[in-house]
Amino acid sequence: MAWYDRFRSAPQQKNAYPTDSPAWFDMLMRGERYAANSVNIDTAMRLSTVYSCIKVLSETVSTLPCHLFKLSNDRQTRTHQFSDIMHTLVYRAPNDWQTAAEFWQMQMVNLCLRGNSYNYIVRGESGRIVALHPIPTDSVSVDVQHQNRITYRVTIGEKGKERTEVFQPFEVLHFKGMTLDGINGISPISYQGHLLGGAVEQRDHANNVFANGSTPRGVLLVDGTLSDDAYTNLKDSWESAHGGTRNANRVALLEAGVKFEPISMSPGDVQLIETRKMSREEICGMFRVPPHMVADLSRATFSNISEQNLEFYRSAIAPYLNSFETRMNYQLLGDSTREFRFDVSNLIRGDFAGEVDAYKKLLEIGVMSPNEVRARLDMNPRDGGDDYVSDSNNLTFGDEEQPQPEPDPEPVPDESTSNELDKMLIGLLARDLR
């Protein structure tokens, strides 16, 4: 049995009505709403908008590599720590059965659905961290003791052989979403149960409309009163001949005394499409995902999609990344000389033409070197590409010392001019002697 299989709890009984049960039908007939406590993780994930939002968030974070850096004493420069085992855990594989991308995707799914994500910190004989093992969220309960000291109770074992073990905070890497007490994250699905319940009702109503052939509903009128057997036979024969989309638009054969009276009620009359669109926008707002990322382009234009993508990073992705980084820096490193950092350059990258223009300006003012630009473009460095060039004054700033300008040479007197002076001096002396 794998280590992961130990953290499994007994299945919990869900308080939900199946859509084909008599209780669910009676609830709709009485005008009751879909109960908030009947919306669980499974029913929420069956909503296309919830599934799409969580898929966008989790897959986006899984594409961002996480690196470990060593900070200088003044914390101004950083160097990659590729050979450190902690870098391997967050960048390549945290355990034997998951890649780093799969690990971060799982963390995001747990946070979006349950508000918490737990991982067991595996340490070697020397005390160093050697692996991170995810723990199923449903099998963990957080106990708060005096002075806010907490422990994690984890249900371990197969069904019928469960046992509970207690872990200390330094043994569990706990990521949490929005929290009310600072200890447990709240589940978006539980707190937005009424919103999701309304979306479930709208979806089921639309499915029922199409299941009935998308035709106006009607009633069968008969003279007199039918017996129970006659009522059952008429109902079964009508549904078998005209129920469902396959039997739509078929010619109805009515027996003597039976009349069909249609009832004009269509999805347009109840504004089904508009209502479902409103629910989709509210669910997107719950996860802070732009509607165009879940295939709703009704309000998207070419000019504002790039701004929406940048806003998606700032409001939806950046808080999760900051939560991951700060928690790992505090619990896995324990010092201020190293830090984890997600690389978001690919996420905030704009169109290629704008990117080239930005790199050109950064090269001209000496902010980036050619090799730094080539690294951003996934290209190998070139010789001489580490120098910083400023185009404004035609200067090159590199690591080597700049040559000093040579002093101007002393002027050499002209021989012809010297001979003329000598002759003039001799002439003056000869005149004085006379």
Amino acid at 127: G
Distance (Å, whole) CA 192 – CA 190: 6
Q: How far is CA 109 from CA 114, 146, 223, 259, in A?
A: 8, 32, 59, 54
Distance (Å, whole) CA 122 – CA 240: 61
- HSE-CB for 54 with a 13 A CA cutoff: 22
Distance (Å, whole) CA 6 – CA 364: 59
**Exposed/middle/buried for residue 332 (C-beta within 10 Å: 0-12, 13-18, 19+):** middle
Residues 359-365: contacts with CB under 8 Å, at least 24 apart? 363/389, 363/391, 364/389, 364/390, 364/391, 364/392, 365/390, 365/392
Residues belonging to the chain: 434
- HSE-CB for 82 with a 13 A CA cutoff: 0
Distance (Å, whole) CA 99 – CA 141: 27
The tens-digit pLDDT sequence of the chain (434 residues) is 445 455 544 444 444 444 444 444 444 444 445 554 578 899 899 998 999 999 999 999 999 999 999 988 887 788 989 999 999 999 999 999 999 999 999 999 999 999 999 999 999 988 899 999 999 999 999 998 877 789 999 998 777 788 899 999 999 999 999 999 889 999 999 888 888 888 888 788 777 766 655 554 666 677 767 677 777 877 777 676 666 555 555 556 566 567 766 655 555 555 666 777 788 888 999 999 988 888 777 776 666 677 778 888 999 999 999 999 999 999 999 777 899 999 998 887 767 777 888 888 888 888 888 888 888 887 898 888 888 877 655 555 555 555 566 666 666 555 565 666 666 666 666 665 55
Q: What is the pLDDT of residues 340-394, one digit of tens each?
A: 999 998 887 767 777 888 888 888 888 888 888 888 887 898 888 888 877 655 5
Question: Residue for token digits 């101004």?
Answer: 76
Distance (Å, whole) CA 136 – CA 3: 12
pTM beyond 0.75: the answer is: no
170 and 40 Cβ atoms separated by less than 8 Å: no
Distance (Å, whole) CA 323 – CA 329: 10
